[in-house]
Chains A and B, each alone.
Chain A
Amino acid sequence: MIHFVLLISRQGKVRLTKWYSPYTQKERSKVIRELSGTILSRGPKLCNFVEWRGFKVVYKRYASLYFCMCINQEDNELEVLEIIHHYVEILDRYFGSVCELDLIFNFHKAYYILDEVLIAGELQESSKKTVARLVATQDSLVEAAKEEANSISNIIAQATK
């Protein structure tokens, strides 16, 4: 099972965190500090796994962003590496060649997508299309709701004039 997902920029800034196991706020910042220290200092040719406190952290670098997932000792690292890639591909498809700025400004959308890919620390959907479809419907519904709300408020505004 995946214990947490971290997105760290190359400067050590946190871009996204998702915790599937309980950690207090203090532990969280400690974990982030420790891991960004170890991961960011690793050379490019080394392997993408770090053993850490009895867990394994699998990370992968995309441009200036590091995607890290913490897994159990007995999990399959290569698989997790592919889960990261899977998530990145979906992000890419959603945003259209995703970049760090997309994630900074629309990080809540990244969260929604992550919620469709992973649930309770396990991969829930391995079909990119299904995820994309679900996210799209949600978005369109939201849009519709927004318009509706706007129009209602317009009506109210007009009525109260």
Chain B
Amino acid sequence: MKEYIIRLVYIEMLGHDASFGYIHAVKMTHDDSLYLKRTGYLAVTLFLNEDHDLIILIVNTIQKDLKSDNYLVVCAALNACCKLINEETIPAVVQQVVDLLGHAKEAVRKKAVMVLHRFFQKSPGSVNHLVSNFPKRLSDNDPGVMGATLFPLYDLITIDVNPYKDLVASFVNILKQVAERRLPKTYDYHQTPAPFIQIKLLKILALLGSGDKKSSEQMYTVIGDIMRKSDTASNIGNAILYECICCISSIQPSPKLLETAADAIANFLKSDSHNLKYMGIDALGRLIQISPDIAEQHQLAVIDCLEDPDDTLKRKTFELLYKMTKSSNVEVIVDRMIDYMISINDNHYKTETASRCVELAEQFAPSNHWFIQTMNKVFQHAGDLVNPKVAHNLMRLIAEGFGEDDDTADSQLRMSAVESYLKIVDEPKLPSAFLQVICWVLGEYGTADGKYSASYISGKLCDVAEAHSSDDTVKAYAVTALMKVYCFEKAAGRKTTLLPECQSLLEELSASHSADLQQRAYEFRAILDLDANAIENIMPLDASCEDIEIDTSLSFLDNYVQKAIEQGAEPYIPENERSGTLNISKIRNHNAYEISTHSLRFEAYEVPKPVVPAKIPSTVTYPTDLVPVTATISEPSYQPSVQPTWPLVPVSDAGSALGSTELKLRLDGVQKKWGKPTYSSGASSSSTSNFELDRNTVNGATKPDTAISKPREPRQSHVEVSEEKQKLAASLFGGTTSRSERKQSGKVSRTTNHGEDKVQSATVTVPITTAAQAQPHPPDLLDLGEPVGYTSSYSSTVDPFKQLEGLLDLSQDVNATAAGTSNGPDLMSLYSDADTNGNSNQNLNPVNGSVNPSKKPALLTKGPSLKDALDKDALVRQMGVNPTGQNPNLFSDLLG
């Protein structure tokens, strides 16, 4: 039987399925004879995973064997414990394992410690009360047990350093003893005393000493001793040296140790062995974070490694370069990285390299032109692996240019982008994200300086849409771009005729299965029928960068509310103040509506198609903003005005007139609000509208891409910093450098980056949270009697932050998105079916936080407080809030 089981193990090892024999292996563990039992355990540990069904049959045997008198049986059972006991069965054996910590045999104690360590890894909760056992075992007589105890301690210290600070002295003591060869000779390995224990101890010390001056000082002598003693000829000696360097770079720096570490690194890099070179590069990467100038003397070695045929070494060197990039050498490094990225075909590392290229380019780009070219390359070769956010950044950069008043430079930049894209666009295989950028840029700026005719650009765009017929997003971008091109033409008073291929594309899309594409196609047609004046209003030239203001207090409704009250309507009572005076069913209805809003919001968040989210927010925000007004004035039309708005949301509605019916239905609600019954439909209305909001919405909705068009000030600041630095620092490859300032610039950009990330993550959560938050808050939002309800006392704090505004772009971005989406519905309702407001909100991130935008900052509360405050402030101001000081507590409450 034993032979069979062993054969089964072999079969399984070769990758065949041997599950039919598992049960026999389990049975064998029940056997009394140690000989068979051991084989049984071996087979079981190799066969079964911890969640296998048969485990339950083994737990009992393990329990019995842990109690056995024969320590070899106990050892076998402990071995099995490591592999087979899962979270649920830990309580069944944990007590016995703890008892074994006091076993007479050191082999058993050692295994028991390791088993507890394993349990701790699997479910820290179940053994938390036993943690105190580990430090006790540290003083075990047997060095093996002591060595084993270091593993769980290392894990514990990684999780939380503080409770173990007092152990620093004993760790240092042990390390000293080990280094002085106090341990038995058998622990020597190649004449090095217990190297594995030394390495583990150094790792623990690195954790304990990081950022702690007092503890670090205790370690300096012993680390210095070890480094001096270590044998650089053997592998294990180098392993210890490397660990020392890691430790030195992690603890509070000591100049003397840094020097020795630098020497050791120099030896590593000079060595012929690739292994040591690899370790040297890695160690260098750690050390330059503390003392940036040591890399200088190793330039040649680093470049050698970069050209090495060994892929692993190359990759490691790129990692090092990534760490030491600064504005002066970024071009060389990023070019190299892109070349490397093109050469590899492993998706995992391709993605990583691409994202690093993008990150470096964003941080240190010497010029916008270079940045665009670099991004083009990255997109071309790894487009689908890059974060979509990057594409939006690129569009924003092109839209914003230098952000200053330098218009000629901007238009040159745009023209160069347009030209490069026109060259690239015909290539057969381009990633979707890149095509989106191309379409957007061509649509926005393709005809801007008159170099290319509209028909040329639109022909190209049609080609794109045709060539990528399976990609709806690209098609949508292309159609919107076409729309823009024709609108600009018409607005400029030139005569336009649709190209035949454009016509056929439109026809095809009008019958498309995608409601999004369909709507765009219909919008396109409708907008072409308008006169030039109207088009100019809808599609102002180059307005993608304009800010959008939102009148959150809905002050434009004041007149109407006033009129209604004069006519005898009840004034609006905030929800928390009404007490059953209002029709209960209405409130309930309102609530029910809000609940449905939530579910819709989730949809909007999850569907990645650009336009669908843009539409859903529109229906979502609209009622929350406006409908309750009608409700309080007890308009009988409350229900009709609400209900039609949202059944139309489903995208699956294949009816051709989706957009127009939706708008029409909503119109009656709007009419009442504005108190203009004649304000029904048609193109004329768009040109005659003179509400304040109209202006805004025209901007907001027709330029749906505003989301990506916020000032790129942070980049500006980098460029400035880097230019200063260029004087100081020649390139890494140029020779003499002073890297001292690199750190600083790195820091600046890091923080920005960090902030960006944070905001990004915040935006992701916004839809859900705002939805949840909207409910308790309608009173504030809707109280039209007090239009100043939305004010804050932030004006006083604004000024000091103004200089630092550069940090804020993304948070403003979030806002812009919010603004764009929230304005959408109003416009739609205003322009009724003639409206082609370009629901083309390409923003993939439907941050429809406009229900209660001021809530958003609350999500940003983590992190450095100053930055935070800046974010919040920017948000607040971006929302167009008038700081009047009348309601000082509202925002401070919200912003925490």
Contacts and interface: CB of A to CB of B under 8 A. Distances in A.
A126 B34 contact: no
B199 interface: yes
A122 B312 contact: no
Contacts of B273: 47
Interface in B49-89: 49-51, 70, 72, 75, 79, 82-83
Given A28-B15, A82-B236, A120 B82 contact: yes
A78 B239 CA distance: 5
Interface string A1-26: 00000000000001011100010110
B195 interface: yes
B584 interface: no
B456 interface: no
Interface string B172-210: 000000000000101101000011110100010000000
Interface stretch (A62-70, A92-100, A127-135): A127-135
Given A124-B111, A126-B187, A130-B186, A142 B348 contact: no
Given A48-B275, A138-B72, A126 B15 contact: no
Contacts of A50: 312
A79 B243 contact: yes
B33 to A, nearest CB: 5
Nearest to B278: A47
A129 to B, nearest CB: 4
A17 B275 contact: no
Contacts of A138: 38, 72
B275 A126 contact: no
A122 B348 contact: no
Contacts of B143: 127
Contact of A124 (B110, B199, B348): B110
A43 B309 CA distance: 10
A22 B663 CA distance: 56
Contacts of A137: 72
B39 interface: yes
Contacts of B310: 46-47
A129 B46 CA distance: 26
Given A77-B279, A126-B196, A119 B242 contact: no
B543 interface: no
Interface in B231-281: 235-236, 238-239, 242-243, 246, 273-275, 277-279
A32 B9 CA distance: 17
Contact of B39 (A46, A77, A108, A123): A108
B42 A127 contact: no
| Chain A residues touching B, range | 35 or more
Contacts of B50: 22
B199 A79 contact: yes
B114 A119 contact: yes
Contacts of A108: 6, 9, 39, 42
Given A25-B15, A127-B144, A149-B33, A76 B239 contact: yes
A115 interface: yes
Interface string A76-90: 111101110110000
- Contact-size category for B: 35 or more
A141 B312 contact: no
B107 interface: yes
B34 A145 contact: yes
Given A108-B39, A111-B42, A83 B15 contact: no
B315 interface: yes
B110 A125 contact: yes
Contact of A77 (B9, B46, B118, B278): B278
A132 to B, nearest CB: 10
A142 B73 CA distance: 11
A13 to B, nearest CB: 8
Contacts of A126: 144, 147, 187, 189, 194-197
Nearest to B15: A29
Contacts of A22: 49-51
A50 to B, nearest CB: 6
A124 B108 CA distance: 11
Contacts of B110: 124-125
B17 interface: yes
A80 B813 CA distance: 48
B164 interface: no
B590 to A, nearest CB: 50
B79 A115 contact: yes
A22 B273 CA distance: 34
Nearest to A133: B107
Nearest to A23: B49
Contacts of A149: 33, 35
A142 B34 contact: yes
A111 B46 contact: yes
A161 interface: no
A137 B74 CA distance: 14
A126 B235 CA distance: 16
A126 B242 CA distance: 19
Contacts of A17: 13
B151 interface: yes
Contact of B14 (A14, A79, A86, A130): A14
B242 A76 contact: yes
Contact of A16 (B13, B115, B144): B13
A80 B693 CA distance: 68
Nearest to B273: A47
B313 interface: yes
A120 B196 CA distance: 16
Given A29-B15, A79-B243, A130-B144, A119 B82 contact: yes
Contacts of A125: 110, 144, 147-148
Contacts of B115: 119-120
Contacts of B348: 53-54
Given A76-B246, A141-B34, 10 more contacts: A47-B277, A79-B236, A108-B6, A124-B114, A124-B144, A126-B189, A126-B195, A130-B144, A142-B34, A142-B38
12 contacts: A18-B46, A43-B309, A46-B312, A77-B278, A82-B236, A83-B196, A85-B235, A124-B144, A126-B187, A126-B194, A137-B72, A145-B33
Interface of A: 14, 16-18, 22, 24-25, 28-29, 32, 43, 45-51, 53-54, 76-79, 81-83, 85-86, 107-108, 111-112, 115, 119-120, 122-130, 134, 137-138, 141-142, 145-146, 149
Interface of B: 6, 9-10, 13-15, 17, 33-35, 38-39, 42, 46, 49-51, 70, 72, 75, 79, 82-83, 107, 110-111, 114-115, 117-118, 121, 143-144, 147-148, 151, 184, 186-187, 189, 194-197, 199, 203, 235-236, 238-239, 242-243, 246, 273-275, 277-279, 309-310, 312-313, 315-316, 348-349
- Give 9 nearest A-B pairs by CB, closest first: A78-B239, A47-B274, A129-B186, A46-B310, A120-B118, A120-B82, A127-B186, A126-B196, A29-B15
